[in-house]
Each structure stands twice: as C-alpha cells, then as structure tokens.
Homo-oligomer: A and B are copies of this chain.
Amino acid sequence: MKPTVHDIARCAGVSLATVDRVLNARPGVRGATRERVEQAIVTLGYVRDLAAANLAKGRTYRFAFILPANDNSFMIGLRREVEAAIARSSVERTQIEIIEVPAFDGGALVLALENVLARKPDGVALVAIDAPQVRAVAERLADAGVAVVTLVSDLGASGRHHYAGIDNIAAGRTAANLMGRFLSKVDGRVGLLAGSMLVRDHRERLEGFLSVLSEDFPQVAILPVIEARDDPALAETSIREALRRHVGLNGIYSLGAGNRGLIRALREVDAARRPVVIAHELTASTRKALADGVIDAVLNQDAGHEVRSAIRVLKAKADGLPVLAAQERIRIDIFLKDNLP
C-alpha cells in the first residue's frame, strides 16, 4: 500500500499537523523534529498524491503563451494547438492566456514579458527572440518564481528553464545531408531561403546546413542567403528571380516558414528542370507540394507536441518536479511523399 501522511505521522511519532508543516515548508517546526519527519518520508518512500493535493488546494495552473502575430501556416497551427489546450483546460486544471506580439520584434516581446511579470502567473511559454534584453526579462521572470519555457525558437540555456522545440542545428545538418545525397549532379549549386537571422532557430539551421555541406559535400556551391521574413509574397518574387538568374540552380533549402510563395514560384518551372527542394514545416501547401513532387523533403516539428510538452514542463516546474527528458524531446520529423501522415 502507498504510504500516506498518516503513515508518516505514525512512523515519525508526530502529529498530522507537523507532517503537514514539514511537507509544505510552513514554519513552526524545530530542526530535530523536521529531520525525524524527513527521515520517515525517506524510509517509507512517501510520494505526495498530486491529484489529491491539487483537489484539496483547488489549484489551477496559470500560464501565459506569448506567440508572434505571424500569419504563416505554422504559426497559425501553433496558435490553434494552444487554443486546443485551452479547450481542455477544465480537465487539466490550467488557465492559459494567449498574448500576441508583432513578429521579429524584440522590443514588443520585452514589453509583453514585463506585462506578464506584473501578473505573476505560474509559468510563461514564449517563441523567443534571443536578444540580450529579452534574456534579461526572462531571467527576472525566473527569479520571480515564474517557470519559463521557450517554444520553437530558443533563448540560450541561461534565460529559461526548458526549451520545447527541435534541435535546429541538427535539422540544418540533416537537410544538408539529404540535399547532398539527393543532388545526383556533382556540380550542384544550392540556394538558401530564410526568414530572419534575428531568430535563433533560423540561424542555427543555416549553421548546421553550411557545416555539413562544406564537410561532406564540398563540390556543392552555395549562393547568398535570401531573407524573406517568412513572407510568402516576398519569397515568391525572390525565388522567381533567383531561378531566372542562376540557371544552374539545382537545390533550394528553405529554412524558414512562409513556403507558399516558394512553392508558387517552383510550380512555374518545368518538372524536369526543377531543383531539389527541402523545406520546413508540414502545412497544407508543403504537403501538397510534397505529394506533387514539387518539394522533395519536409523537415517538421509537431506543434501539437510542442505545446503539450510545454504545458507538461510548465506544470512540473510549477510543482518543483523533475521532467522526463526522453518524453519531452521534440523530434525532427522528416517527411517524404511516402510517409505523409
């Protein structure tokens, strides 16, 4: 039988009230007594029944999710997943608020975090921009006892308790490996389409991609990076132009979001002369492009998993519990046209 607080009281020879004082770090227990109780807890192997404790406390976890007001499919999907979590909130004892901030705007993010700090929720999840000011506010939040989890894009280990997202260096390296092997011609020329170098995820993908390409596929030439701010229209014109200018362009790695424009530009090219294309995030448009053979591979992060994982971690941090690292690792999904879910 699982030991309860009563068993501890009996084992330590103290009353229930004293056990409660020790367990909940309330004052009014002498050091010697406290140790006796802690000893009893260890010897009996007591673990607090979280369900019963939350019931007694009537606890609800208050969390804030700060999301960029981007209108690309991935961010829309991410928001939808947070909304789905809100719909489950009565069952999960959570109370989640979504805060939208302009995309790629460090100042706005800092302001939003400061507003959150004033309300002192149990935890915050944010799609980070890894600027020093952002990190500073994040640290103040952590100091104030608020659990901080970065989502999708990271902040560096110092600024947060946990990162719920993929390893973007590995993603870039994987893209390069696939690109190198899919390019049958040895004299490949590869173009790169990014969102913004302000966010860490894009920078890391680029870094990983370049390092593997130069190490393992030195014969492949790399063209200058095009930054399109995850904007479909901008991406479309840039790619169309690049395709026209660089006639030997036979590979494109799109490491950001907003692939609708890229795909539109690609569809204008003859199937036989289309470059090998690797993109990120499985959305309606990338899925269709993959099925049609316009895109060759999609690296994906599952927004639903990220949101659910972030909530689990926020809860654990709020309760001072450890997180199961293996369970919370967000994986890089690789989709070819044959393993579309």
Given A51-B51, A51-B55, A181-B182: A176 and B338 interface contact (C-beta under 8 Å): yes
User: Do residues A339 and B2 form an inter-chain contact, with CB atoms below 8 A?
Assistant: no
Given A181-B181, A304-B326, A304-B327: A336 and B51 interface contact (C-beta under 8 Å): no
Chain B residue numbers with a CB within 8 Å of A177 are 336-338
Contact of A199 with B by CB under 8 A: no
Query: What does DSSP make chain A's interface, helix, strand, loop or mixed?
Result: helix
Residue of B nearest to A55 (CB): B52
Identify which of A107-115, A119-127, A152-160, A165-173 touches chain B.
A165-173
Contact of A332 with B by CB under 8 A: yes
The total of chain A residues at the interface (CB under 8 A) is 40
Contact of A210 with B by CB under 8 A: no
User: Do residues B338 and A170 form an inter-chain contact, with CB atoms below 8 A?
Assistant: yes
Chain B residue numbers with a CB within 8 Å of A24 are none
Chain B residue numbers with a CB within 8 Å of A332 are 339
Given A327-B308, A333-B331, A334-B334: A171 and B212 interface contact (C-beta under 8 Å): no
Cβ 8 A contact of A174, one of B52, B212, B338: B338
Chain B residue numbers with a CB within 8 Å of A327 are 304-305, 308
Contact of A17 with B by CB under 8 A: no
Q: How many angstroms from the CA of A2 to the CA of B59 in the assembled complex?
A: 12
With contacts A52-B55, A173-B339 known, what are 19 further pairs, Cβ within 8 A? Answer: A47-B90, A49-B55, A51-B55, A171-B339, A174-B338, A176-B338, A177-B336, A177-B337, A178-B336, A181-B181, A184-B184, A208-B338, A212-B338, A304-B326, A304-B327, A331-B333, A331-B341, A332-B339, A333-B333
Taking Cβ atoms with an 8 Å cutoff, the residues of A that contact B are 2, 47, 49-52, 54-55, 90-91, 167, 170-171, 173-174, 176-178, 181-182, 184, 208, 212, 302, 304-305, 308, 326-327, 329, 331-334, 336-341
